[in-house]
């Protein structure tokens, strides 16, 4: 009976984690470049049950198997292209994938290179191109990009042109397996070992100036999944309550009769 309690509790915990993940997705439905998280659940290993005689020896008669619950194995972002939204702001940039893998902007955060799909940039008082959170946008040499004003032009391959003169070129990195990227706050990602992602080849992406990539959160699907997660939580909760009532009777009624 106690094993059943653990199974019900593990189901409740897995449903709670999935609900929290879906709530975060829905809260970021309007965040530029946001990639919706998706949870992968896995069952704990099954246990084989055998009948034991009073001496404690296992008899040859096998009762069967027992499932020991479920858990959320991992939560990874879903790298699917979001819709492009026109803003007409020259500092807004959107990257569209044209090949395999995911192409991302390279960002400097506290001296470390991170990656993002959120191209809502701005120019700080010192003339550096930064994210809205103040992190520096990097060029192909991993240097900070400085511009003379916010009125610059960016071509489809990420080259910044001011007054007809080509300046820096954005460092567009590519991840052939974006599922391995680790998600951080402010829409940033990093590699597991801190290694630099390689530069994306020309023709595998296109930069659109005056656009931002929208979130790829599907609100209708997220709401449906959240309702299903709620129902699963409630079902496991009722199982837990049934076990609790059975234990209460075993302790307070059966035990009293035996006494």
Same domain, 202 and 166: yes
Same domain, 89 and 72: no
* Nearest CA among 160, 158, 152 for reference residue 103: 158
Same domain, 72 and 170: no
Q: Domain of residue 154: give its range.
A: 84-213
Q: In what order do the strands lie in the sheet with 153-154?
A: 153-154, 159-162, 165-169
Same domain, 43 and 155: no
Same domain, 57 and 127: no
Same domain, 186 and 90: yes
pLDDT value for 22:
95
Report whether pLDDT(243) > 90: no
Label residue 245 by pLDDT band (50, 70, 90): confident
pLDDT value for 252:
75
Higher model confidence: residue 121 or residue 71? 121
Q: What is the dihedral of CA 146, 149, 155, 157, to 10 degrees?
A: 20
pLDDT value for 41:
76
pLDDT value for 3:
67
Q: What is the mean pLDDT of residues 168-176?
A: 94
Domains: count for the chain:
2
């Amino acid at each position: 009976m106690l094993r059943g309690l653990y199974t019900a509790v593990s189901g409740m915990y897995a449903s709670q984690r999935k609900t929290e993940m879906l709530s975060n997705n829905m809260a970021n439905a309007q965040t530029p470049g946001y990639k919706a998280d998706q949870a992968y659940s896995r069952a704990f290993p099954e246990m084989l049950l055998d009948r034991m005689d009073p001496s404690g020896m296992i008899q040859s008669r096998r009762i069967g198997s027992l499932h020991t619950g479920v858990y959320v194995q991992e939560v990874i972002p879903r790298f699917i292209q979001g819709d492009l939204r026109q803003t007409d702001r020259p500092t807004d940039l959107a990257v569209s994938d044209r090949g395999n893998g995911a192409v991302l902007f390279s960002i400097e955060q506290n001296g470390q290179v991170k990656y993002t799909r959120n191209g809502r940039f701005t120019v700080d008082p010192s003339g550096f191109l930064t994210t809205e959170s103040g992190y520096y946008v990097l060029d192909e040499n991993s240097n900070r990009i400085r511009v003379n004003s916010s009125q610059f032009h960016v071509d489809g391959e990420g080259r910044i042109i001011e007054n007809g003169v080509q300046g820096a070129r954005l460092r567009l990195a590519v991840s052939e397996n974006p599922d391995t990227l680790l998600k951080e706050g402010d829409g940033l990602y990093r590699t597991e070992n801190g290694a630099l992602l390689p530069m994306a080849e020309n023709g595998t992406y296109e930069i659109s100036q005056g656009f931002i990539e929208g979130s790829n959160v599907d609100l209708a699907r997220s709401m449906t999944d959240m309702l299903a997660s709620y129902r699963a939580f409630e079902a496991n909760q009722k199982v837990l309550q049934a076990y609790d009532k059975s234990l209460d009777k075993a302790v307070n009624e059966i035990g009293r009769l035996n006494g």
